[in-house]
């Protein structure tokens, strides 16, 4: 949902003014009253019949003043109409009359008379509104508690919002009570006849909605109000009728101003700058600001608006630490944007940078000579301080501060104090600045690199070699894992419970890892190719990659094998469209009959679901394992030469056993075994 930003009305003419308009959302009229009062707005409009004046029976509530305020009533985010909010001030009018006989004879007051004097006051206030061609009357019911009833005193106000009106309309407002105890109040107001400019944020966009009458033409300009300096135009259009201009939020800066004027000779122009306090505009300004080097030794801060900031020079060491300000001897100074500023230096250096900061934080830093003089250098900056009687002292600028040369500190500058002093005296250091208070010297440090750095480099190379070997080992391990053995699972879909058990086994084997192929995961290919073609393709790929075909025997699978062995000249009866096991028997049996099965096939069956002698003798020429009791041996056979150590194999077998247990329990709870196992067996086709 877009968030409203602010809303502005520009009234242009001989006396231009700028009005801030509040936004009211929704088409319903409302009423609210000041604290202590209660008020209610009657539904619908009422007849505007003031009636004749009547005498007040005692203290009554009457309107004493009218105030209006222009607001925007919005039905959608950008669909707003001008609306008049009315504030009615109320006061208590009249007194309770004292009976003459009580004053003359001192008769006690009647409690029945005293009771209404302590009661609350209630009034029906009528508010009449006329603005051609609209006329409305609304009724407000207001009640004042007894504690606030003081004759002649104001009790508060009630606010009605609101009456819609057109730009440039003359509105007339009356207010009175029913019955009417005094002359009605009236107010006449001329609404602005010129455009209403709504500025609102909508996601990443800013909408300028200009409400202009269709028959009038206006000029609209967006410009940067730069101080000092003339305004810099950015966008200008001549408009006729209502318009919506969309800006990206990144275009906002604090000095972006809006100017509107009539397209007629000698028209007055009205300008507003609504983004001065907007946080996003200030962030955009710093993002747009850029530091530029101007040859030979000048720099400039380019920005659309003026910046309340200071600039200073600093020394940036190549180790990535903070840039150390050169103060003293070089003082801070206020920044003037878009104006060339001279460096108080004799020569440039890549390590000298410019910092621009506000009183809160540093905003910009640029090492302006980095492009022309190359990257940062490992130079030592020496600060020379000059005192009275030509006394001079040198210190080296380090992260811990300015270390005096020839001191006993345990820093690099202190250890090299003597040689650095000789370099300055012999002219091997570059003088960057020379003034009355001192000087700056940049001394190269390449020749002072100790031999111990060679050992550091050798250690780094040795570490890199070790890391390279570890990377190779890890890469080989990843390749070995990527070349994990393939396994094709064949089974007879006896019922849904057995299929869930096969699915659990396939998922557990996939985590070992093994590259598992099973028809449960290839239903779409089975439907497209047919069970026999799918089995041929999977068997050929598995065996070519050195994998193994796993025959999962169940009562249904045993029955299919016996049926095939009894009549090898014809296929078994019809089976389901996804029954790859029945389709595969024509290819499996020749491998077993001709002795090609060992090393390529493995058999398995589940405990308590099938007895060991139920497996046909023909298939016992390959290892047949009972699951989960023989899981370690089964997993070792599947993984082949890449099988892990026995203790690791036992851990994996335990993991597979835990994964199978829920499916096994579900399978054994079903009534019966074999192809009749489970309640879904009767529906198998």
Phi, psi of 98 (to 5 degrees): -85, 130
Nearest to 64 by CA among 192, 201, 205, 184: 184
pLDDT for position 267: 66
Q: What is the pLDDT of residues 236-265, one digit of tens each?
A: 888 887 788 888 888 889 888 888 777 877
Confidence band, pLDDT 50/70/90 cuts, at residue 479: very low
The dihedral sign for the CA sequence 647, 652, 653, 658: positive
Give the H or E element holding residue 504: helix 496-510
| Tokens standing for residue 409 | 């500190």
Among 45-59, 90-104, 340-354, the range scoring the smallest mean pLDDT is: 90-104
Do 90 and 157 form a contact (C-beta atoms < 8 A)? Answer: yes
Among 19-33, 408-422, 479-493, the range scoring the smallest mean pLDDT is: 479-493
Mean pLDDT of 566-594: 67
Cα 152 to Cα 62, 82, 90: the distances in Å are 10, 36, 10
CA distance 296 to 342: 9
DSSP state of 122: E
pLDDT for position 513: 72
**Does 575 score more than 60 pLDDT?**
no
**Does 674 score more than 50 pLDDT?**
no
CA distance 546 to 487: 9
Mean pLDDT of 172-181: 92
Strands 134-144 and 38-41: antiparallel
CA distance 133 to 450: 95
Give 426-434 contacts, CB < 8 A, sequence gap 24+.
429/382, 430/347, 430/349, 430/379, 431/346, 431/347, 432/345, 432/346, 432/347, 432/349, 432/352, 433/329, 433/330, 433/344, 433/345, 433/346, 434/346
Q: What is the pLDDT of residues 588-633, one digit of tens each?
A: 888 888 888 888 899 999 887 888 888 888 888 899 999 888 888 8
Mean pLDDT of 294-302: 82
Give CA torsion, residues 31, 37, 40, 45, to 10 deg.
-60
Q: Compute the mean pLDDT over every residue in the chain, rounded to the nearest whole number.
A: 79
CA distance 404 to 424: 14
Do 540 and 600 form a contact (C-beta atoms < 8 A)? Answer: no
Between 114 and 61, where is the model more confident? 61
- Percentage of residues in the chain with pLDDT exceeding 70? 82
CA distance 424 to 396: 12
Mean pLDDT of 639-662: 80
Mean pLDDT of 34-54: 90
Between 183 and 455, where is the model more confident? 183
Between 531 and 480, where is the model more confident? 531
| Tokens standing for residue 318 | 């190549």
pLDDT for position 18: 39
pLDDT for position 17: 38
Give the H or E element holding residue 589: helix 580-593
Q: What share of the chain is helix, strand, coil (3-state, %, to 5)?
A: 30, 35, 35
The sheet that has 217-224: what strands, in order across it?
232-240, 217-224, 256-262, 270-272
pLDDT for position 480: 45
pLDDT for position 129: 95
pLDDT for position 410: 76
Q: What is the pLDDT of residues 58-71, one digit of tens each?
A: 889 999 999 999 88
Between 408 and 521, where is the model more confident? 521
Mean pLDDT of 397-415: 81
**Does 121 score more than 60 pLDDT?**
yes
Report CA Rg, the chain: 47
Helices (H), 390-448: 412-415, 417-426
Crossing angle, helix 580-593 and helix 555-566, to 10 degrees? 60
């Amino acid at each position: 949902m877009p968030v409203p930003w602010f809303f502005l009305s520009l009234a242009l003419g001989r006396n231009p003014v700028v009005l801030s308009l509040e936004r009211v959302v929704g088409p319903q009229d409302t009423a609210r009253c000041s604290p202590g009062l209660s008020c209610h707005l009657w539904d619908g409009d009422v007849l505007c019949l003031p009636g004749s004046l009547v005498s007040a029976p005692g203290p009554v509530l009457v309107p004493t003043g009218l105030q209006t305020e222009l607001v925007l009533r919005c039905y959608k985010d950008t669909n707003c109409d001008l609306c008049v909010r009315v504030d009615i001030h109320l006061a208590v009018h009249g007194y309770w009359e004292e009976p003459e006989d009580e004053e003359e004879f001192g008769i006690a007051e009647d409690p029945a008379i005293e009771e209404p004097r302590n009661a609350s006051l209630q009034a029906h206030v009528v508010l009449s509104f006329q603005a051609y061609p609209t006329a409305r009357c609304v009724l407000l019911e207001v009640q004042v508690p007894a504690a606030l009833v003081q004759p002649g005193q104001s009790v508060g106000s009630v606010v009605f919002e609101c009456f819609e009106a057109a730009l440039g309309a003359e509105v007339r407002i009356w207010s009175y009570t029913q019955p009417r105890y005094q002359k009605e109040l009236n107010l006449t107001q001329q609404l602005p006849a010129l455009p209403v400019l709504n500025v609102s944020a909508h996601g990443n966009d800013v909408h300028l909605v200009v409400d202009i009458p269709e028959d009038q033409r206006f000029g609209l300009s967006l410009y940067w109000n730069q101080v000092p300096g003339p305004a810099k135009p950015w966008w200008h259009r001549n408009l006729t009728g209502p318009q919506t201009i969309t800006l990206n939020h990144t275009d906002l800066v604090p000095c972006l101003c809006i100017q509107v004027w009539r397209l007629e000779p000698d028209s007055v122009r009205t300008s507003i700058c609504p983004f001065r306090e907007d946080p996003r505009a200030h962030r955009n300004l710093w993002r747009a600001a850029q530091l530029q080097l101007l040859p030979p030794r000048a720099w400039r801060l380019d920005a659309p608006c003026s910046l309340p900031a200071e600039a200073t020079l600093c020394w940036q060491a190549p180790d990535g630490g903070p840039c150390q300000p050169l103060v003293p001897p070089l003082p801070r100074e206020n920044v003037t944007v878009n104006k060339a500023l001279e460096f108080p230096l004799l020569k440039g250096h890549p390590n000298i940078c410019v910092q621009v900061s506000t009183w809160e934080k540093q905003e910009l830093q640029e090492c302006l000579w980095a492009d022309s003089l190359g990257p940062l250098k490992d130079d030592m900056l020496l600060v020379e301080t000059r005192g009275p009687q030509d006394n001079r002292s040198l210190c080296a600028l380090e992260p811990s501060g300015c270390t005096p040369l020839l001191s006993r500190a345990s820093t690099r500058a202190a250890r090299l104090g003597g040689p650095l002093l000789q370099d300055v005296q012999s002219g091997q250091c570059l003088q960057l600045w020379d003034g009355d208070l001192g000087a700056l010297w940049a001394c190269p440090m390449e020749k002072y690199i100790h031999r111990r750095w060679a050992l550091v480099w050798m250690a780094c190379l040795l570490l890199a070699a070790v890391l390279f070997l570890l990377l190779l080992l890890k890469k080989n391990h990843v390749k070995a894992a990527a070349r994990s053995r393939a396994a094709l699972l064949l089974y007879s879909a006896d019922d849904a419970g057995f299929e869930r058990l096969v699915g659990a086994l396939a998922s557990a084997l996939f985590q070992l890892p093994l590259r598992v192929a099973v028809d449960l995961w290839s239903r779409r290919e089975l439907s497209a190719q047919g069970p026999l073609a799918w089995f041929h393709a999977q068997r050929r790929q598995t065996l070519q990659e050195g994998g193994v075909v796993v025959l999962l025997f169940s009562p249904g699978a045993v029955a299919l094998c016996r049926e095939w062995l009894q009549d090898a000249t014809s296929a078994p009866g019809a089976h389901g469209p996804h029954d790859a096991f029945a389709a595969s028997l024509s290819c499996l049996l020749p491998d077993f009959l001709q002795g090609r099965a060992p090393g390529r096939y493995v058999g398995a069956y589940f405990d308590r679901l099938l007895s060991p002698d139920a497996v046909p003798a023909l298939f016992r020429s390959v290892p047949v394992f009972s699951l989960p009791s023989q899981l370690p041996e089964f997993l070792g056979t599947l993984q082949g030469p890449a099988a892990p150590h026995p203790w690791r194999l036992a851990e994996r077998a335990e993991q597979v056993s835990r994964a199978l247990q829920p499916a096994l329990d579900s399978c054994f709870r079903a009534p019966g075994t074999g192809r009749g196992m489970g309640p879904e067996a009767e529906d198998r086709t």
